[in-house]
């Protein structure tokens, strides 16, 4: 790879990282009150230093297929939340028990183990799924709102089909056998 090509690639990776970092900063909740410590830990993990290569690949793939950037950015933010979750939990004492991540204290060292566990779970379940699947009808007023708006080329997922009750032809479940008296 030529020096010019390497420089261009490094610039594009840095631009993608900056774009996703700005979006994450807007998207991640800021808490006041009892949830403040948890949201602070989530922000610490997700907004910390990193190459953000997964998001770069997501944004570049979106460009290859002419997918609107804001739709891909929503998915890229979800990828970063999942990545942050995996790093938070990987660093826990019950796993690798790391004290440092990218030159700074891990979440369980900067906060505490319980907060790290909750921050990781919240980022993996609530945030990552919300960023990918959220769609609103209101006029966008923030980056979060803009990212959650479907675009003309982004299909809105259909509502899940309701689970129907078991057919009447099935016999009722038999009760569990009684345990022998002792």
pTM value is 0.69
Mean of all residue pLDDT scores within the chain = 80
pLDDT bucket at 7, cuts 50 / 70 / 90: very high
pLDDT 10s digits, 25-46 = 998 888 888 899 999 999 999 9
Cα dihedral value 137, 142, 148, 151, nearest 10: 80
From residue 25, how far is each of 77, 90, 95, 172 by CA, in Å?
Answer: 10, 23, 28, 53
| Gap between the Cα atoms of 69 and 123, Å rounded | 22
Which CATH code of 1.20.120.10, 1.20.1050.10, 1.10.600.10, 3.40.50.12280 fits the domain covering 3-148? 1.10.600.10
pLDDT bucket at 156, cuts 50 / 70 / 90: very low
Average pLDDT over residues 94-107: 94
The ranges assigned to domains in the chain are: 3-148
Whether the per-residue pLDDT at 111 is higher than 80: the answer is yes
| Gap between the Cα atoms of 176 and 53, Å rounded | 53
């Amino acid at each position: 790879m030529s020096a010019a090509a390497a420089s261009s690639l490094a610039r594009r990776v840095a631009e993608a990282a900056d774009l996703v970092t700005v979006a994450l900063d807007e998207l991640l909740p800021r808490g006041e009150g009892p949830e403040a410590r948890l949201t602070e830990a989530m922000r610490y993990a997700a907004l910390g230093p990193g190459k953000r290569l997964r998001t770069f690949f997501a944004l570049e793939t979106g460009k290859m297929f002419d997918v609107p950037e804001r739709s891909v950015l929503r998915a890229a933010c979800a990828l970063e939340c999942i990545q942050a979750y995996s790093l938070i939990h990987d660093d826990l004492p019950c796993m690798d028990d790391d004290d440092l991540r990218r030159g700074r204290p891990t979440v369980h060292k900067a906060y505490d183990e319980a907060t790290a566990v909750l921050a990781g779970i919240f980022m993996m379940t609530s945030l990552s799924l919300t960023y990918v699947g959220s769609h609103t009808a209101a006029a966008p007023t923030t980056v979060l709102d803009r990212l959650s708006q479907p675009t003309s080329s982004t299909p809105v997922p259909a509502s899940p089909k309701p689970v129907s009750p078991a057919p009447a032809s099935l016999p009722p479940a038999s009760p569990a056998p009684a345990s022998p008296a002792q």
